[in-house]
Structure 1
Amino acid sequence: MNKNDPTFLGTVSAVSGASVTVKLAESLASGLAIINGHTHRVGQVGSFVRVPQGYQDLYGVVCEVGATVAPPAISPDKIDTGRWMRVELAGEAVGSRFERGLSQHPNINDTVHIVTDTDLRKIYGYGESDQVSIGTLSSSENISVRLSLDSLVTRHSAILGSTGSGKSTTVSSILRSIVKPIGKDFGAPGARIILLDIHGEYSSALSDVAKIFRVAPQPGENALHVPYWALETNELLEILVGKLTENQEIAFADKIFELKNAAIQAQNFPGIDPRSLTVDSPIPFSLHQLWYDLIDFETMTFVGPQRDKPALNAEGNADTLTPPQYEPHAMGNTGPFLNQAAKGIRRQLNLLRSRLLDKRYDFILHPGQWEPRTDGSIESDLDVLLSGWLGHEKPITILDLSGVPSPFLVRLIGSILRIIYDALFWSREKTEGGTLRPLLIVMEEAHRYLSPDSGDMALSIVQRIAKEGRKYGVGAMIISQRPAEVDETILSQCGTLIALRLSNPADRGRVKGALPDNLAGLMDLLPVLRTGEAIITGEAARLPVRCRITLPSEEHQPKSTDPKVTEAWSRRRIAEGYDRVVASWRAQSTTATVADRKIVRIPVQDQTSTGEE
């Protein structure tokens, strides 16, 4: 190889496994090289290099530069501190085909070269349809960085970075690059992406490509409803009444099974055979009726010689949650007598009634058109719900959970993921299933509900998605500012890591431990990355890369930017109304008003000229 080649960097001086020590050429004094009119930075940590091997080329990423990289056999006083690099080899290209992994290793004194745009075309295969452009190389902004969409979805991914590092903007940019790349009307019009938006950041950023569901919907948005009867019984009972003893759980489960069985006897639900019914089957039943039947049994008293005649004074009403009235029990042998078969669940039933009356839980306990009547009949079935979430004309669905009570958030996320995953799992051989039309679930602020201490509801279903989702077309994208608090099993299953700036040592350690490549030197850059800059490694990136994420346009950026303190404080105060603050607080809505101002608008017609002076 001609060493006058402008791409020439140096020669191989040592090889250890996939690590290669490179001695830089004396001619590289400026740290810059101009190749085909483009400027390339030389010897930058995170940049790519190429090692020719005759009919094939080896490719690697620079992980360390300086005297510490020099072979130990060299005397310290003879080391030229700026003339050494450590490169981690990651793949090879035979002809125009690139593959991860190595079939051979370089030899001592083999030449090492800068990777140019032509080389990157070999690596990323710009002509391949599954490549998504998300940004540019930090060391060469004329070279775009592309990820494999297939690997990004099916092998799961994680976007990790401290607050203020650009996570939300990165998520918005990647999703927009998938469904609507710059300069195109649509890139993946048939995409199915569900975004769990914890803070309500993404509605404005993705409104043109997303259908938005919110607990307290704004104009143009849809109400978020989660039918309670689609959940597994143990999860539902944990939401409704908390922890139960085994006997108490059996009392609730038996009554739920009875109500579900009565519902399928009265109505023809497709796909259900009464002989295959279980307490977890997604069959509608009325919580009002459940409460009424159980409270009636618990409070019932008896009179008569055989103690078998109910001492009922007034019937209650299930619809209004009015309990039946019985004569109070008395001491002695005259009665009325308590129901000796009562299960001791009166306290739990009082909590259930309180939940049903609490407006904050209407989105799950009173789910609109999916709320069963007392006989179990419903206006709309789960097909309408799933069609609204997964089958609409836009590629992204945003489930805005910012209005959900904080103690209830983990349970709700687990419920939503359970409904989605079970639906796609059992429909995997149908065209609507995940196998033929995959689904990507984007989980924002994952450390809040995927830590080992967060409970089992969300954690268990996401662990299942991480381990098995690939086979059924369900991919996960985990977003977190505290990777150290995310369950290790879930993070280890993420085949692609997009790591933005991370300052906490524990968080950096978790990222290093999850990396598939030996890139410890590259990961040491995490504390000094610029906002919106990321190190990407794993299945979707054919080579580990330091990338500058493409910023969306200003109107398509999420509502997560820092307040402009100086600008805001430099303006003179205007009239303020803190009654509006209290109104929004009470209404749990950012757009609530103090008074409903009704303005009557009367159209004004122009006076036509009569022609008279």
Structure 2
Amino acid sequence: MRQIGICIGSTRPNRVYFITDELVRIGQFVTLSYLDGGERKNLLGMIQSLERDNPYLPETIKTTQQAESIKKFSEKENTIKGEIHILGEIIEAGDEVFLQVPRTPPLPAAEVFEASPELLKKVFGAKSKKFVRIGRLLSEREEVPVYVDIEQVVLRHLAVLAVTGAGKSNTVSVLLKNIINLGGTVAVFDFHGEYSKSKLTRNGKTAINHIQPLINPASLKPKEFASFIGIKSNAYVQFRYFRLAYEHLIKQLKEEKGENWQAHINTSDFLKRLKETIESIADPETEIGGKIKGKAREDSLFEVLNKLEDVEFELGHIIKLGVPPLIENIKPGMVNVFDFSELDEDVADAIASNILRWALEERKRAVRGDSSRLPFPLLIVIEEAHILAGEKRNTESKYYIARIAREGRKFGLGITVVTQRPKGLDKEILSQMNNMIILKLVEPEDQKHVQRASESLSQELMEYLPGLNPGEAIIIGNMTRIPLLVKIDRAEEKIEGNDIDVIGQWEEILKEDKNKVKDIMSELDDL
């Protein structure tokens, strides 16, 4: 090992200061070595901050000429000082290396060495089949692969956060490719139709299962169905009228046609009878109208009917009575894509909450040993997570995302939230994401929101966020145990973003205009 410096000043169990003559780098890994009570101690650390100093060039210098004249004779007096964050004591066990939390501060004047690539490969390499490669250490000259515990991604959840263009799609692609190569199952809520075009494969065959979001209105809870047709959570009167009508109609149909009533009525007839039931609330002589104290509010009834008719007209093609719950379409070992790109936020929320609710219930059944529609662990990836789990918006999806974040690990059900607007994401849900891959974040409010939600994101690490290049990330949480600066691998089978080729389309217009001019000139020549 090559010595690059020595510790100075007082030391702490998790932090030391050092001085060096070498050109070291922020994020670089180092080892500290010293004898303590006759026992050799070796610690692994990461350079957290650096500064250069020249005692002959204080900040009080007034002119550039004065600084230039001093510079000529004092260049050899330049010193580099820095701060090292102690990651742990190096414990070697055969071919494997583990880090143990140090209980005592290192000795002052401990020697600082450049961490060898062999050591780092053992520390950050795959310790079992559940570890998958995600990238390489950013600050090391020699390539040192970084592996993450994919089981911890599922059991302890994950947030992928970055500004647009920083590499979110590539990062998710790398993770999903690794998961399906392990035979894992993923469900994706896709708001932009990006995943449907993905070329992700396993064993040379496509690994994308596109699921059309057909909705069975009879499988929705009243609150989900109300959200589906656009009744806001604070529209209490509208929701009460809708719930009364919906529950009354279901009870009637079961009495008329039995428990298998869905086999005896088509979707349009069901919706027609639902509208008739809603209208009958206005008549106090009807059974359902008699349940309303006082006169029914006609404006609220009209709003409910109007919303139901609008949804029937615009989204009638995805409403189908009798279809099984959407989770029955999830195929094991594949990336199952629910395409929300043509849906507005309220409709997407109703469908997403229904999937989340069924997923939680079915995974509970599987763990109890009962018959289940989801007999395998599942990771749910939520793109544009601020839409379904916004800080200032209460949605049905937000409730179930929070529940899965709290309970999912017991049932093999994981959540990955992906967003370019961290400050718009509910902070309680963000705090439940015990793993984070944070790419470039520029806006201070986004940075603060993330830092408040994660104890592992120190002020020093947060300062890196604005300067990260595309594909560079800070990884923190159970998936790595140690906060890392990583260059994410480039996915060969990438999920592409949906940026428009603006220049290309403008050029096409120019070509068309030129061709039109040529045609006109040709016609004039023929005259």
AA of the residue aligned to 2:146: V
Q: Distance in 2 between matches of 1:170 and 1:245?
A: 40
Map of 1:359-370 to 2, 5 A cutoff? 359-360=314-315, 362-363=317-318, 366-367=319-320
Give the counterpart letter for 1:112 in structure 2. Answer: V
Structure 2 counterpart SS, 1:298: coil
Question: Which residue is 2:164 aligned to?
Answer: 163
Amino acid at match of 2:469: R
Q: Would you say the 8 A contact 1:135–1:144 is kept in 2?
A: yes
| Distance in 2 (alpha carbons) for counterparts of 1:151 and 1:565 | 40
Q: Tell me, in whole angstroms, the C-alpha distance in 2 between the residues paired with 1:81 and 1:521.
A: 24
- Where does 1:232-271 land on structure 2 (aligned, <5 Å)? 232-240=221-229, 242-243=231-232, 249-261=239-251, 266-267=257-258
How is 1:250-399 mapped onto 2 (pairs within 5 angstroms)?
250-261=240-251, 266-267=257-258, 286-296=270-280, 298=282, 343-344=296-297, 346-360=301-315, 362-363=317-318, 366-367=319-320, 371=321, 378=322, 380-382=323-325, 385-389=326-330, 392-399=331-338
Q: In 2 relative to 1, CA 105–439 (structure 1 residues): closer, same or farther, beyond 3 Å?
A: farther
Q: Quick check: 2:44–2:86 contact (8 Å CA) kept in 1?
A: yes
| Equivalent pair of 1:414/1:461 in contact (CA under 8 Å) | yes
Alignment-derived partner of residue 334 in structure 1: none
**8 Å Cα contact 2:12-2:106 kept in structure 1:** no
State the Cα distance separating 1:204 from its structure 2 match.
2.3
Q: Do the aligned residues in 2 keep the contact of 1:434 with 1:472 (CA within 8 Å)?
A: no
Going from structure 1 to structure 2, the CA distance change for 1:506 and 1:80 (only over 3 Å counts) comes to farther
CA distance in 2, matches of 1:132, 1:449: 29
Using a 3 Å threshold, how does the CA distance of structure 1 residues 488 and 228 change in structure 2: closer, same or farther?
same
Higher deviation after alignment, 409-418 or 433-442:
433-442
Q: Distance in 2 between matches of 1:299 and 1:192?
A: 51
Q: CA deviation at 1:101?
A: 3.5
| Alignment match, 2:442 | 503
8 Å Cα contact 1:137/1:548 also seen in 2: yes
Superposed, 1:74-473 pairs within 5 Å as 82-96=79-93, 97-99=97-99, 101-140=101-140, 142-179=143-180, 187-189=181-183, 191-208=184-201, 209-213=206-210, 222-240=211-229, 242-243=231-232, 249-261=239-251, 266-267=257-258, 286-296=270-280, 298=282, 343-344=296-297, 346-360=301-315, 362-363=317-318, 366-367=319-320, 371=321, 378=322, 380-382=323-325, 385-389=326-330, 392-406=331-345, 408-430=347-369, 437-473=376-412
Q: Tell me if structure 2 keeps the 8 A contact 1:136–1:142.
A: yes
| Superposed displacement of residue 532, structure 1 | 0.9
Q: Does 1:9 align with 2:4?
A: yes
1:494 equivalent among 425, 429, 433: 433
Q: Is the 8 A contact 1:51 1:112 kept in 2?
A: yes
Specify every segment of 5 or more residues in structure 1 that has no aligned partner in the other structure, as ranges: 32-42, 71-75, 180-186, 214-221, 270-284, 303-307, 309-338, 372-377, 577-613
d(CA) in 1 for partners of 2:504 and 2:237? 62
Could you tell me how far apart the structure 2 residues matched to 1:67 and 1:139 are? 19
Q: Identical aligned pairs, as a percentage?
A: 23
What stretches of structure 2 of length at least 5 have no aligned partner? 56-60, 62-73, 261-268, 514-527
Q: Report the equivalent of 2:525.
A: none
- Determine the structure 2 residue equivalent to 1:327: none
Residue in 1 that maps onto 2:510: 573
Contact conserved, 2:125 with 2:145, CA < 8 A, in 1? no
Question: Following the alignment from structure 1 to structure 2, what is the Cα–Cα distance between the partners of residues 15 and 159?
Answer: 35
TM-score, normalised to structure 1, is 0.68
- Between stretches 421-430 and 158-167, larger displacement belongs to 421-430
In the TM superposition, residue 111 of structure 1 has moved relative to its aligned partner by 2.0
The 1:496–1:52 alpha-carbon spacing in structure 2 relative to 1, beyond 3 Å, is farther
Q: Distance in 2 between matches of 1:129 and 1:565?
A: 44
Measure, in 1, the Cα distance between the counterparts of 2:352 and 2:159. Answer: 18
Q: Does 1:21 align with 2:17?
A: yes
Residue 593 of structure 1 is matched in structure 2 by: none
TM-score, length of structure 2 as denominator length: 0.78
Secondary structure of the 1:527 match is helix
Provide closer, same or farther for how the CA distance between residues 230 and 561 of structure 1 changes in structure 2, counting only shifts above 3 A: closer
Q: How does 1:577-596 map to 2 (within 5 A)?
A: none
Q: One-letter code of the match for 1:192?
A: T
Q: 2:362 is paired with a residue of what secondary structure?
A: helix
Offset at residue 295 of structure 1 (A): 2.2
1:46–1:522 contact (8 Å) kept in structure 2: no
Deviation at 1:568, TM superposition (A): 5.9
Does structure 1 retain, via aligned residues, the 8 Å contact 2:192–2:498? Answer: no
The Cα offsets for residues 337-377 of structure 1, whole Å up to 9 and x where unpaired, read as xx9986446314522541353133542xx23xxx1xxxxxx
Q: Higher Cα Rg: structure 1 or 2? A: 1
Q: Say what the alpha-carbon RMSD is for the aligned residues.
A: 3.5
Deviation at 1:267, TM superposition (A): 4.4
Deviation at 1:255, TM superposition (A): 4.4
Structure 2 counterpart of 1:500, one-letter code: L
Deviation at 1:130, TM superposition (A): 1.3
Is residue 558 from structure 1 mapped to residue 513 from structure 2 by the alignment? no
The letter of the residue matching 1:62 is: I
Measure the CA separation in 2 of the matches of 1:160 and 1:100.
Answer: 29
**Counterpart selection for 2:47 from 62, 68, 78:** 62
For 2:254 and 2:149, the matched residues in 1 are separated by: 46
Deviation at 1:495, TM superposition (A): 1.2
Alignment deviations for residues 30-49 of structure 1 (CA, whole Å, 9 cap, x no partner):
x3xxxxxxxxxxx2212222
1:160–1:251 distance in 2 versus 1, CA, 3 Å? closer
Q: Is the 8 A contact 1:136 1:549 kept in 2?
A: yes
- The aligned amino acid for 1:573 is L
- The alpha-carbon deviation at position 563 of structure 1 amounts to 5.2
Distance of 1:210 and 1:493 partners within structure 2: 29
> Shift in Å at residue 523 of structure 1?
2.1
Structure 1 Cα separation of the partners of residues 434 and 371 of structure 2: 25
| In 2, Cα distance between equivalents of 1:566 and 1:348 | 45
Measured in 2, the distance between the counterparts of 1:570 and 1:397 equals 37
Q: Show CA shifts across 1:117-164 (max 9, x none).
A: 321243235241111101111123521111111212111111111111
Mapped contact 2:332–2:376 kept (Cα < 8 A): no
CA–CA separation in structure 2 for the residues paired with 1:267 and 1:301 = 26
Pairs aligned (count): 466
Report the 3-state secondary structure (helix = DSSP H, G, I; strand = E; otherwise coil) of the residue aligned with 2:25. coil
Aligned partners of 2:379 and 2:415 also within 8 Å: yes
Question: For residues 374 and 125 of structure 2, what CA distance do their matches in structure 1 show?
Answer: 25
SS at match of 1:428: helix
The 3-state SS of whatever aligns with 1:475 is strand
Whichever residue aligns with residue 484 of structure 2, its letter is V
Q: Is the 8 A contact 2:131 2:149 kept in 1?
A: yes
- Tell me, in whole angstroms, the C-alpha distance in 1 between the residues paired with 2:156 and 2:252: 43
Deviation larger for 567-576 or 447-456? 567-576
User: Take 1:407 and 1:485, find their aligned partners in 2: how far apart are those partners?
Assistant: 17
2:368 is paired with a residue whose SS is coil
Q: Deviations over 1:473-530 (max 9, x none)?
A: 2211111111111111111111111111111111122233333336322321111111
